Amino acid sequence: MLSPEQNERYQARMKRKKAIVDERIAKATEERGVLILLKGNGKGKSSSALGTMARSVGHGQKCGVIQFIKGRDATGEYLFFKDHPMIDWHVMGHGFTWETQDHNEDTQAAEKAWAIAEDMLNNPEYGLVVFDEMSYPLKYKNLMVEPVVEALQARPEMQNVIITGRTMPEELMEIADTISDVKDERHAFRLGVKAQKGIEF
């Protein structure tokens, strides 16, 4: 418990803080869809995109997800979201490069995924679209960045887009509104803990 004197000083400090916060809020008035990049080597990028999707669906917005890397079958997120009437979920692409070991097949898979992604970017019904691990085919040149930038810039004005992946090409960084870099400070995997259901997949 604070004493009455401490509480008074505390309140004065908080009032000053509130004035600063309120001023910042008053300055942000533009209303439009944003492009969010979630990059970096840390855990939590895809899950963050999907948590934001839950938030959008909670407000009645239709959402689309393209997974550009086909990893495990029946991940928890897929099982949870796949049948929701407001969500279109596409597991596309190929496996990780070191699993498939076939660059040309990876490219064909990436192109198919991009065709669906492009349709979503042309459709104003989608309030949010998530391109999960899209940085991956971009990095390995299975997908060119120029048409992606073009389609993102021509998308419906109120549409939000989240792209996840370790490394983002400079061209996407330039046009992004929000960029979070998720840094791996520690990971249970390196402590010897097996990847587990409900946490990693």
On whether the CB atoms of residues 126 and 65 are closer than 8 A, the answer is no
| Minimum distance of a copy of itself from residue 155's CB (angstroms) | 15
Check residue 32 for interaction with a copy of itself (CB under 8 A): yes
C-alpha closest to that of 122 among 95, 99, 100, 152: 152
Which C-beta is closer to a copy of itself: that of 93 or that of 127?
127
113 CB neighbour count, 10 Å cutoff: 26
How far apart CA 63 and CA 127 sit, in angstroms, is: 6
Residues 117-156 close enough to bind a copy of itself by CB under 8 A:
127-128
Check residue 194 for interaction with a copy of itself (CB under 8 A): yes
How far apart CA 93 and CA 131 sit, in angstroms, is: 11
Instruction: Return the range that interacts with a copy of itself (CB under 8 A); candidates 54-62, 65-73, 114-122, 146-154.
Output: 54-62
Binding test (CB under 8 A) with a copy of itself, winner from 1, 5, 154, 157: 1
Measure CA 144 to chain center.
Answer: 19
On whether the CB atoms of residues 93 and 113 are closer than 8 A, the answer is yes
* Count, residues near a copy of itself per rule CB under 8 A: 87
Binding test (CB under 8 A) with a copy of itself, winner from 81, 126, 131, 136: 81
Binding test (CB under 8 A) with a copy of itself, winner from 70, 71, 76, 118: 76
How far apart CA 175 and CA 150 sit, in angstroms, is: 10
Instruction: Return the range that interacts with a copy of itself (CB under 8 A); candidates 40-48, 65-73, 113-121, 143-151.
Output: 40-48
